[in-house]
Amino acid sequence: MLKLIKNGEVYSPDYIGKKDILITGDKIGYIADSINIPEDFVNIEVIDATDKLVVPGFIDSHVHIVGGGGEGGYKTRTPEIQLTDITTGGVTTVIGVLGTDGTTRTMSNLLAKARALREEGITCYAHTGSYQVPVRTVTGSIQDDIILIENIIGVGEIALSDHRSSQPTFEEILKVASEARVGGILSGKGGVVNIHMGSGKRKLDFLERIVKDTEIPITQFLPTHIGRSEELFKAGIEFALNGGFIDFTTSTVKEKSKSKSSKCSSRLKMLLDNGVSINNITFSSDGQGSLPSFNEHGNFVGLGIGKVTSLYKEVKDAIIEENVEIEDALKVITSNPANILKLIKKGYIKENNDADIVVLDKHSMDIVTVIAMGQVMIQNGEVKVKGTFEE
């Protein structure tokens, strides 16, 4: 069946005006000011987007799809994510990661879940490894994993400046970056090193030293959780002003304790006010990961769970509360992660791209309809496709 989205104001994510979009199979086939196909000519589903915004499907570049955690013992291991946990947040592409636990959560688990989510209708990739160095891979080599395994596009999340990290040396991180870079070059993938940033005093020191002392470019890294502390945030500003990419975690801080200045939406506004290019900023949710709390002695005191739905909420708040331009706010969850990770058919509404589209209410900015790979997952706020084991 063809699908025709009519009369919507399209953000590609840059604004391109009121357009009609014809979806053919799982691709965007044609975009024009007006497309009219006789209903008796072909089986076609028309989606009326009058008074609505049509934007690219969202990309969440950091999701614990097989669950995460265990910092409070075995009972605190979070469960696997379900399809609608993702699609109700407007997300149509996810990157799966392991995290703290690289023992009871394995790369085999991660790849199997990534393929399951693809079978259920969304796009899912994965990074090889977890917090630990040496990196636990599938083939025994970061470079081989990236080159030979279709779903694997990078490495991480590798933990730095954190009491839960494996305390890798500078040389070990340099070796990880080198393997990821060559693997990416030879496979045409991003080969990005996703770095979990803790609140330690070393902050981004290792990455800055690699850029200064070696030939590896600053764009090889995507450090995340940059909003974790004021000190790390300030270091992140400098890192981005020097050309680096920085990622903010939308569900790290529990909502009840969020101050206005610590929200990702506010951080985005501050970054732009400080001259950081919008193209160097991404948001990710840390979805389904555990959100542990530790006291000043590093002892576990509580646990929350990350939500993919937090991703667009922070973007929406940036638009409504912080007056960030819609185009800029959208880029941190669409074109920017697509460019950084080299997801060439993602992140933009343009002909021949994958038909990943979100329709928003123009006034409330709420999610109305979600289309992933040409399939309507959410329509007028109602779930149309559930995961295999969802009721």
Q: Are 240 and 275 in contact (CB under 8 A)?
A: no
Q: Is 286 an annotated catalytic residue?
A: yes
The SS3 of residue 318 is: helix
Kindly compute the dihedral angle of the four CA atoms of residues 199, 63, 147, 346, in this order, to the nearest 10 degrees.
-120
156 phi and psi, to 5 degrees?
140, 180
Query: Does residue 314 have a cis peptide bond before it, meaning omega lies within 30 degrees of 0?
Result: no
Give the number of C-alpha atoms closer than 13 A to the C-alpha of residue 9, restricted to the C-beta side. 12
Handedness of CA 19, 24, 26, 29 (dihedral sign): negative
Query: Active-site residue among 20, 60, 85, 286?
Result: 286
Residue bearing tokens 């409330």? 364
d(CA 269, CA 64): 27
Give strand ranges (E) for 202-284: 221-224, 246-249, 281-284
d(CA 249, CA 285): 5
Structure tokens at 305: 């769970």
Element (H, E) at 186: helix 170-187
Task: Name the DSSP class of 88.
Answer: T
Annotated active-site positions, please?
286
